[in-house]
Amino acid sequence: MGARKVALLLFALLVVLILAPTHSLQSSRTIRYVNKSAPTCGGHRPCYAAPQSAVNAALPGETVLIQAGVYDAPLSIDGKNNTPTATEANRILITADPAAPVGSVVLKGAGQSGALGEGVVLNTSKFITVRGLTITKMEGRAIVLDEGKGATDEVHLERNRIFGNGLHQCRSGILVRGGNTNTLIVNNLIYGNGRHGLRWVPRVTCSPVLNELMGRRAARGTLRR
């Protein structure tokens, strides 16, 4: 078999693994459920009314599973897995409920002009996955990997739908600031935001893969692999 065919097969296997259902992974994890309108989360425990409460409580290796609904932004992911010994086994998964209709788990901003407001902000955290959320109507960016308190490492952004953000303040859909390392941005749908769909700045190790970027100035930055 030629080298080109081997490379294509390996790439296809990577995509299949990324898109594989999460049920088997979740079965071995502690799951923290979120539902703003059902206080028992459909009979699941522990149950939280807001994503932020569940994220604050999440321990290494756990899942925050957000059931269908429209939730208020922002969501801060700060200081999670921030130890020298953190590994892939400690990854925290923050995900839309795979049983919910696509697009039914929404993180929504106020959508009013005024003070800058981001959707999801990650600081000083390692081995975090944000998956399957619809993020819209933020005054600022939908997702920011920040460096103000400390950069992130091994953050994965997967299968999110990001649109209608930063319109008043001309902000990007996703911003990866300098110093954040080993970032994977894969299979996101990004369109109709105020500026670039995806923007990253120097000193970033960032791998955007198979994202659908539409609209003005879809992406900007210097990609380093």
Assign residue 96 the CATH number of its domain. Answer: 2.160.20.10
- Which residues lie closer than 8 Å to 83 by C-beta, 6 or more apart? 126
Q: In the prediction, which pLDDT does 208 show?
A: 67
> Within 10 Å of residue 165's Cβ, how many Cβ atoms?
31
The pLDDT tens digits for 21-41 are 544 444 568 999 999 999 999
- Residue 53 in contact with residue 47, Cβ under 8 Å? no
Please tell me the total count of domains within the chain. Answer: 1
Q: Is residue 186 part of a domain?
A: yes
Single out the residue of 137, 133, 144 nearest to residue 110, CA to CA.
137
Q: Is residue 9 part of a domain?
A: no
Q: Is residue 17 part of a domain?
A: no
What range does the domain containing 136 cover? 31-220
Single out the residue of 20, 37, 193, 57 nearest to residue 104, CA to CA.
37
Give the residue ranges of the chain where pLDDT is below 50.
6-8, 10, 14-18, 22-26, 112-115, 221-225
